[in-house]
Structure 1
C-alpha cells in the first residue's frame, strides 16, 4: 500500500477470501492513525510477496474440485 505498513485489525477478514477489504491502520509517523478500509488487491507482504490465493480468491480450488469430482 504505497510502501507503508498496514496493521491488520481483523485477521479473520484477511484470511476470508469472500472479503475483498480489510480494516487496518497505516503505520507511519508517531501518531496512531485512525482505522481505515484497505483493498486486499493493494496489499502485499513486506518481502514483496503477494497475498496467498486462498486469502483473496474464493474460487482458487475450483479446477481441483472439478478434476476429482
Structure 2
C-alpha cells in the first residue's frame, strides 16, 4: 500500500542519494547521522533500515569502493 503512495528507496538507491549529497557538502562539515534506528515495532518501512549495523557497513563499503570524498563537488 505505501509503495503506491510514497517512493521508498531500496538501500542501494538510498546510498546513491547519500553519495551525491555528501560530494556536495563542504569538506569540513560534520555529518552526524546517515541513518537512524527507532523502535523496530513502530517501523513501517523501509524494512532494510531495521538493521542499522548492516546499513552502516554497506554505506561504508560503498563509500570506500566509490572513493567518495566529501566536498569533491562542493561549490562556494
With normalisation by structure 1, the TM-score equals: 0.28
Q: Give me the TM-score of the superposition, normalised by structure 2.
A: 0.27
Structure 1 or 2: larger helix share?
2
Is the strand fraction higher in 1 or 2? 1
